[in-house]
């Protein structure tokens, strides 16, 4: 539907300006719209797949984070590493949850667009 509207607008503009060179500009516009639609479809599929993969990794990440948080600190020399590891796992859990949410939104079709003009 958008492609037809773009082609019609292109033909109207070309007819008004007196430049009808075989509709070459209209074909390029239609091809670009097809390319954009295919690109956004592929991005949506990538978001869905990334969300599913993050959802599969999330239980293991949560278990590892819980393990590191519950273990008592035995060696004071490893305290710095342990704090870094807990922060790193917490960030990974947050990122996985975000990806799961983005995948869920993409699956329902409510994911915000990535193109120009989208907020």
25 alpha carbon, distance to own chain's centre: 31
Q: Which domain holds residue 52?
A: 2-108
Among candidates 80, 78, 82, which has minimal Cα distance to 70?
82
Q: Name the domain count of the chain.
A: 1
Among candidates 42, 6, 49, 46, which has minimal Cα distance to 25?
6
Is the residue at 115 inside a domain?
A: no
> To which H or E segment does residue 20 belong?
none
Is the residue at 88 inside a domain?
A: yes
Please report which confidence band the pLDDT of residue 119 belongs to, taking 50, 70 and 90 as the band edges: very low
Is the residue at 114 inside a domain?
A: no
The pLDDT of residue 7: 46
Is the residue at 117 inside a domain?
A: no
Please write the tens of the pLDDT for every residue from 42-83.
999 999 999 999 999 999 999 999 999 998 878 888 888 899
Q: Which two tokens stand for residue 6?
A: 């773009």
- Distance (Å, rounded) from C-alpha 82 to C-alpha 25? 61
Is the residue at 39 inside a domain?
A: yes
pTM above 0.75, yes or no: no
């Amino acid at each position: 539907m958008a492609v037809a509207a773009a082609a019609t607008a292109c033909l109207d503009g070309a007819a008004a300006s007196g430049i009808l060179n075989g509709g070459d500009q209209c074909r390029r516009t239609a091809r670009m719209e097809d390319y954009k639609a295919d690109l956004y479809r592929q991005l949506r599929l990538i978001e869905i797949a990334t969300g599913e993969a993050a959802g599969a990794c999330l239980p293991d990440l949560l278990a590892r984070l819980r393990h590191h948080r519950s273990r008592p600190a035995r060696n004071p020399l490893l305290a710095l590493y342990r704090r870094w590891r807990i922060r790193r796992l917490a960030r990974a859990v947050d990122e996985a949850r975000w990806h799961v949410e983005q995948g869920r939104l993409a699956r329902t079709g409510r994911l915000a667009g990535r193109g120009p003009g989208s907020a």
